Amino acid sequence: MARSRAAYEYTEAEDKSMRLGFLLIAAGLLSLLGLGCCWLRPALQERGGGGSANCTVLAVRQLGERFACTFSCGAACRGTARYPCLQVLVRTSRSSAPALLHEDERQLRTNPKCSYIPPCARDDQENSENVTYKQKYWKEKVGSQPFTCYFNQHLRPDDVMLRRTHDETVLLHCFLWPVVTFLVGVLIVVLTICAKSLAVRAEAIKKKKH
Query: Is 91 domain-assigned?
Result: yes
CB atoms within 10 A of CB 64: 6
147 and 94 together in one domain? yes
Residues 121 and 199 in one domain: no
Q: Quick one: 96 and 108 in the same domain?
A: yes
Per-residue pLDDT of the chain (210 residues; tens, 9 = 90+): 444 444 557 788 888 888 888 999 898 888 877 766 555 555 555 554 567 888 999 999 998 889 999 888 776 778 899 999 999 999 988 777 899 999 988 888 889 999 999 999 889 999 999 999 999 999 988 888 899 888 776 667 788 888 876 555 566 667 778 888 889 999 999 998 888 888 888 877 777 776
pLDDT confidence of residue 85: 94
44, part of any domain: no
Structure confidence at residue 61 (pLDDT):
93
Q: Which domain holds residue 111?
A: 52-165
Residues 75, 130 within the same domain: yes
Statement to judge: residues 158 and 89 lie in one domain:
yes
What's the pLDDT at 135? 94
**86 with 115: CB under 8 angstroms?**
yes
- Give the span between the Cα atoms of 132 and 135, in whole angstroms: 5
Burial of 12 (0-12, 13-18, 19+ CB in 10 A): exposed
Domain annotation covers residue 83: yes
| 24 lies in some domain | no
Residue 200 has what pLDDT?
A: 80
Say whether both 57 and 150 belong to one domain. yes
pLDDT at 2: 43
On whether residue 95 sits in a domain, the answer given is yes
Q: How many domains does the chain contain in total?
A: 2
89 in the same domain as 146: yes
Q: Do both 125 and 161 map to the same domain?
A: yes
- Calpha distance 101→61 (Å, rounded): 12
